Amino acid sequence: MNLNINTGEIRLTVNGDPKRELVFNPEDIGFVERFYDLLSEFENKSKEYQAKAQELENDETLDAYGIPLNTKQRIALLREACQYFRSQIDKIFGQGTSDIVFGSINTLNMFAEFFEGITPYIQKARSDKLKKYIGNREQRRALK
């Protein structure tokens, strides 16, 4: 005997590489809550990091080679932001997910691409679930 359960998992390969697979379940309420919390936090943190970056960019003091004196602080801020977003993605999707998805690359743009790429899967799953229940309720009301 065998019991088959549709867990609702979605499996996506990154850049067509079957060794780089992202697995998540957009039907799991706990996952969805954590995901939308992270999405909201991502926007807030992005604004926070942008404000700090702007502050650093406003200091236009250059060294003898024409390089901003605060270049190390600018790079450190970017590294901090990338490490933060990686840790949050790993917290939601599982340890090591950010390495699977991004490899060793660190750019802020890749996080936006990540969220833009998976959000439609989550929205569709949630919409399909809601339609299933709302449709039944509307059908029952029509029968009354």
Asked, for residue 15, whether it belongs to a domain, the answer is: no
pLDDT, averaged across the chain: 87
Instruction: Determine the Cα–Cα distance for residues 106 and 77; give it in Å rounded to an integer.
Output: 12
Asked, for residue 108, whether it belongs to a domain, the answer is: yes
Instruction: Determine the Cα–Cα distance for residues 22 and 4; give it in Å rounded to an integer.
Output: 22
Residues 6+ apart with CB under 8 A from 122: 26, 32, 35
Higher pLDDT, 141 or 30: 30
What confidence score (pLDDT) does residue 18 get?
93
3-class secondary-structure state, position 59: coil
Asked, for residue 8, whether it belongs to a domain, the answer is: no
What confidence tens digit (pLDDT) does each residue in 101-117 have?
999 999 989 998 999 99
Asked, for residue 46, whether it belongs to a domain, the answer is: yes
Using alpha carbons, list the distances in angstroms from residue 68 to 61, 62, 79, 99, 107.
Answer: 6, 4, 18, 31, 20
Asked, for residue 16, whether it belongs to a domain, the answer is: no
Asked, for residue 1, whether it belongs to a domain, the answer is: no
Task: State the total domains in the chain.
Answer: 1
Asked, for residue 51, whether it belongs to a domain, the answer is: yes
Closest CA to 118 of 92, 87, 137, 79: 92
Residue 110 belongs to domain spanning: 21-143
Residues 6+ apart with CB under 8 A from 21: 11, 12, 13, 14, 100
Angle (nearest 5°) at CA 24 between 132 and 127: 25
Instruction: Determine the Cα–Cα distance for residues 52 and 49; give it in Å rounded to an integer.
Output: 5
The pLDDT-based confidence of 120 (bands split at 50, 70, 90) is very high
Task: Using the predicted structure, report yes or no on whether residue 134 has a pLDDT greater than 70.
Answer: no
What confidence tens digit (pLDDT) does each residue in 29-82 have?
899 999 989 888 888 888 898 899 999 999 989 888 899 899 999 999 999 999
Asked, for residue 4, whether it belongs to a domain, the answer is: no
